[in-house]
Structure 1
Amino acid sequence: MAEPEDKTRRAPLDAVGRFTATEAVAAALSLIWLVAVAAYSFTAPDGTGPLGIVMTLMMVFLPIALIWVTVTTLRSVQELRAEATRLQSAVESMRNAYVTTQVQPSVQRKLEEIERTAKQAETALATFTSRRDASLVVASADRKAAMAAPARAAPAEDQPALALGTPAEDLRAPLSVGDFIRALQFPESPEDKDGFRALRLALEDRAVAKLIRAAQDVLTLLSQEGIFMDDLKPERARPELWRSFAQGERGRGISGLGGIRDRSSLALTAGRMREDPIFRDAAHHFLRTFDRTFAEFEKTATDAELVDLADTRTARAFMLFGRVAGVFD
């Protein structure tokens, strides 16, 4: 497509190629002067000597030369004015571009603040709409266990209980919901002490440790492709969809969970899964482990806790691999 012609840039060319009103007036004056001189030459007595001839020539051509010098000067002034207008337009464009580049960071900060506010509002709304099971006593996320304790078979009546040999995990406090969610987010930086503490506690839990290691493997493999979970902005899904997934529903009924829409990340992940069997096995192992662990977590989790978990790096990796593997198709 041709670029639109700049009017200010075209002005000097138009001034040069067009016969202006000033030049028309100058031509008319020149013609009048020539007629007047001719009339005078025919009526006046003949000039004698070289001096008379010189004076006659000066009388004919000097006024005409003065007229056209004036015309040329006026045209030069007009061209300079057009050039000044063009330069002023260019300076104005540069100033507007500079102002735009200075305003963009502030606009970006405003958008980030709006996004954080919306996120807090959605979390608060989820808290108000969390389920209220009569048989479920909701404790603080700092104290409530993330996973329900597995039921143990009662010892046989004829077999006495032994004081020794108690597994170490039975003596440990269960992993809290807050630490579980924090561990799935992984530490934000080397100075994130709370993140490393939660990760250490999660790795001490046998069931959760499997998910942490599987997530760490796929996140490392994704980073080799330049895919980082912090760069993905998934669409939020309702807690009811997460509960349906935990209860075994698959396909289009839970397609809202596949909130990752970044085409380049989806294409790179799909290509790597087709070409790299190690990457593919790690992805399927992660999906299976996330499925089992999340199903246990959902049994005692509130809607607000499901929303918090869905915003972790591990949950975003699940959304990405779930879309590529067809979990939501």
Structure 2
Amino acid sequence: MSPLTRITALARRDATTTIGVALTAAWLLLVLLFWLLAPGEAGRPGGVAWLLSAIGVVLPLGLIWMAVGLARSVAALRAEADDLRQRLSQLREYAATRGAPLPSAEGRRAAPAPAEPRHAPPQPAATAARAPQPRAGAAAAPRTRPVDSRQTAMPFDTPEPVDIAPETLIRALNFPDGPDDGEAIAALRLALKDHENSRVLRAAQDVVTLLAAQDIYMDDLPPDLAPAAVWRRQAEGARGSAIAALGGIHDEIALEVASVLLRGDEIFRDTAHHFLRHFDGLLSRLVPQLDDDQIAILADTRSARAFMLVGRAAGIFG
């Protein structure tokens, strides 16, 4: 909860407490006046009369402070709801800007993964040499942490019609392994100049980045590669159990995290469906041009691994 939201909640609680104290004082004053001004009785009151008098004094006080407690709880819940709405708005803005840096707010951590300038050289997704981050408990409660800028930066040039060789597009779909991976950087720059390929690469990078925020990295998920014939059936329009072998990612934690995000995170769900749709279209265009060896290389790219993981979590493989 941000400091401003916390201060607002405390102010509401203080106001509620003040009202409770005022009502208590007013009630005790009324009891005192009743006690002083009531006419005297001939006989001394019995035990039942004293009990009823005590209940009549204490019960309203209990009701007053029960109402104060409920009001304080409502104020805290309202403050948390306001904070959640602000965070949701921030996440939606982050997704809409494709990772562009957001304006910082006082007391709030900066949004993860600021994008680099338009013409900056592209940076890679995390390499296999990077040590995997711990993922215990991630499936139960997905959390967002600042993402390594190497997994988010990508130069998005203005797309224009370009004839891309299949092997160049496959290299681009795997993203560069580092700043020294000149061939992959050149392939990525060339592929981004084509409108259709640019949409696929942007969608793939979005999914990879959102998964990386949950400590799910494509380099940690070697797939069981399906035969080339299955990929050809997918490109021809087959769905369901006919292409079940494409769901080659079997990491239980990664699948559980992806499933939880698809069910509970609207931003990830929209991004994932956008990626699945465009990657499916890419396969329909690209796979008929490839031989079996090239299909195997395509299936082992980071973009294809994301397709297998998210597709299996979404149930598109039957």
Q: Taking structure 2 as the reference length, what is the TM-score of the superposition?
A: 0.49
Higher helix proportion (structure 1 or 2): 1
Which fold has the larger relative contact order, with Cα–Cα distance below 8 Å and residues 6 or more apart in sequence?
1
Structure possessing the higher radius of gyration over alpha carbons: 1
Q: Taking structure 1 as the reference length, what is the TM-score of the superposition?
A: 0.48
